[in-house]
Every structure is written in structure tokens, then in C-alpha cells.
Amino acid sequence: MQPVNLGGVIISNASLHNFDEINKKNINVLDLVEIERAGDVIPYVTRLVKKNSKLNTKIKPPRICPICKSNVLKEKDEAILRCSNTHGCSSQKIGRIIHFVSKKSLNIDGFGEKQVKQLFNLKYINKVEDIFNLEKFRSEIVELDGWGELSFSNLINSINNSKKISFDKFIYSLGIRFIGEVNAEILANEFKDLDVLISSSSNLSVLENIDGLGPKAISSIIDFFSKEINKETIKNLKNYLTIIFIENERIDNFFSNKHLVFTGTLSELSRDEAKYLAKTKGAKILSSVSKKTDFLIAGEKAGSKIDKATQLGVKILNEKEFLKKINL
């Protein structure tokens, strides 16, 4: 947009989140919109003020990725547009490496987004396992702006210190879609060994019997491990990393030995993640409300289970109350 002074800051662009939101607000090219800075930080479009009656040109979503020129996909029930070139698009490669070295994954100090992009663009790294071979580019990297002998040595030390990693963090570091920290822990606790996970990854019946894994996560696991490029990456990483399984201690909690039923849609967790979290605290999960039920955890658009719980005198908790007590 044309730059505008908003709260003492010059704003030249603002978020509309996605193309569904653009259509929802009925915004076209050169329309007049209202901008607000959320928390005096992030500018976003709140509403349409006036349409440009002369132009009336729709804002069209891109059909090709601006980076690699591959087709753009939009999956059912999702607002996000995705590049179809999962393994060939340079932006996706960079994103994968950034995720791999991030705090929740290998946690490599001094290896942030800026450094990853710099070394990728200079062709010193192209895939995640390349970070373990950076030593051979020492003479070139120490001469780069922002580097030097000390910075590079610190990076190599951080990389070496990351080579011993827990199984759940390793699973998370792979960047499998729908496999966040909770689902990574579910898989680690279920299989306890990388080779067992790989050999079981194509077995639908095995994956469907794992408490806490939803259908999207299961489909994504099968798809990820079916691709040779991902298997090759894991094979290479096994040469550099020591992957250990750490048994989590079960801690007594408000919900220990209690029978829980979940209903409705949760906003902060998926229902599967919430069930798994409750189980790690010693709770027992039931599928229907009965006299044995201690608590009904009700999200939005909860159905008839609330009526039955009320009739039976079962305590009903909303998501906020559940999270507060699960974290006690």
C-alpha cells in the first residue's frame, strides 16, 4: 500500500492472513481499507472502508510458486497455499534446515535464520545433513561478513554438542507435517527406536492403534517415510547423530486415575493431543459418558455428551480449566 504514518511508524504493508480472509472482507485492488496496529506492533487490515468502483479488480491468488515456479496447491479445508515442489523449492529447503537447527529440534546456538540463508545461498549447505560437514568450508566462511574464527569455532562446537539428541526431538526435527512436539513424543514413546518407527511407518493398522495420533498425522507419517529422499536423509543423519530414548516419568496430577471424556472442538490443542497429555498425567480416557466418568472436558460446539454429563452429575470443565489443572 502507499506508505502511511500509523502511531509514529511508517506502514507500507499489512497482513490479511490468507486469501480466504481477503474474500471474506470483500477487498479488491485499490480499495480503501482500515489498518490497525495490534498491540502497537503488527499492522493488519480490519475492514473495508470504500470500494474502488472504477477498477473493481479482484486480488487473485498466485497459481505458481514465486521462488521455483512450481504449481501452487490448496488442500481441502485449509486456507494456506503451498508450493507443490516439496523437496526442490529452495525456500522449502531453507525452511527445513531452519526447523532442523531450531531450539526445539537440535538447538544449535548461533545458527539462526540469517546464517542458514547465507550459507545456503553460498551453496555450503543444501540439505539438513550438510551442516555436519561445514568444517571443510572453514577458510571461506571465516572471511564472510559477520563471521570470523571465533564465531565459526563456536558454531562448530554447538553443532558437535547437538549430536546427542533424544528420540522425540529427533522425530520433531525431521519436520514431518502435523508432527509437532506432542505427536513426536507420542511416536517416541510408542516405538522407542528409530528403526522400529521406520519399519512400522507404512503399517496403517499399527498407526491407527496409537492413542493420540489423528488421521492427518497418520497420513503424513506414511507419506513422509514412503519417500526415498526422506529415507536417505535419515540414513545420513544416523551417521552423525546419537539418538537416545528417554523414558518420561509419570508425575502425579489432578487427573491421575480419573476417567475423562472429551467432546467438542478445542482451540489450543487437538483433541488427540489433549487426550495424550491427560494420559501422561495418569488419566484414563473414555469414549462415552457414564457413571464411571469423573470429568467431561468440553470444547466448542459440544454435543449431547454435556446433557448426559449434567444428568449424571459429572463435573464439566472447559478447555481453559482443563489446561490449568493439567499443568498443576
| 67-115 pLDDT, tens digit each | 999 999 998 878 889 999 999 999 999 999 999 999 999 999 999 999 9
Residues 148 and 194 in one domain: no
Q: Which domain holds residue 273?
A: 259-326
CATH number of the domain within which 294 lies: 3.40.50.10190
Residues 186 and 220 in one domain: yes
Q: How far is CA 4 from CA 14, 38, 51, 201, in A?
A: 11, 16, 19, 52
CATH number of the domain within which 174 lies: 1.10.150.20
State how far the Cα of 166 lies from the Cα of 247, in Å rounded to an integer: 10
Task: Please check whether residue 309 is in contact with residue 316, taking contact to mean a CB–CB distance below 8 angstroms.
Answer: yes
**pLDDT, mean of residues 256-268:** 89
How many H-runs (helices) and E-runs (strands) does the chain carry? 14, 12
State how far the Cα of 96 lies from the Cα of 226, in Å rounded to an integer: 18
User: Has residue 253 been placed in a domain?
Assistant: no
pTM of the model: 0.75
**pLDDT, mean of residues 19-34:** 91
**pLDDT, mean of residues 196-211:** 92
- Give pLDDT, residue 251: 64
Residues 96 and 131 in one domain: yes
φ and ψ at 176, to 5 degrees?
A: -70, 130
What are the cell numbers at 312?
A: 449424571
State how far the Cα of 170 lies from the Cα of 233, in Å rounded to an integer: 12
Residues 187 and 203 in one domain: yes
* Percentage of the chain modeled with pLDDT above 70: 99
User: Has residue 81 been placed in a domain?
Assistant: no
**pLDDT, mean of residues 139-146:** 95
Residue closest to 328 by CA, chosen among 249, 246, 255, 247 = 255
Domain count, the chain: 4
Residue 286 has pLDDT above 90, yes or no: no
Residues 198 and 151 in one domain: no
Residues 270 and 317 in one domain: yes
Residue closest to 119 by CA, chosen among 102, 99, 97, 103 = 97
- Give pLDDT, residue 239: 97
β-bridge pairing 242-244 and 259-263: unpaired
pLDDT digits (tens, 9 = 90+) for 311-328: 999 999 999 999 999 887
**pLDDT, mean of residues 10-17:** 86
Residues 124 and 173 in one domain: no
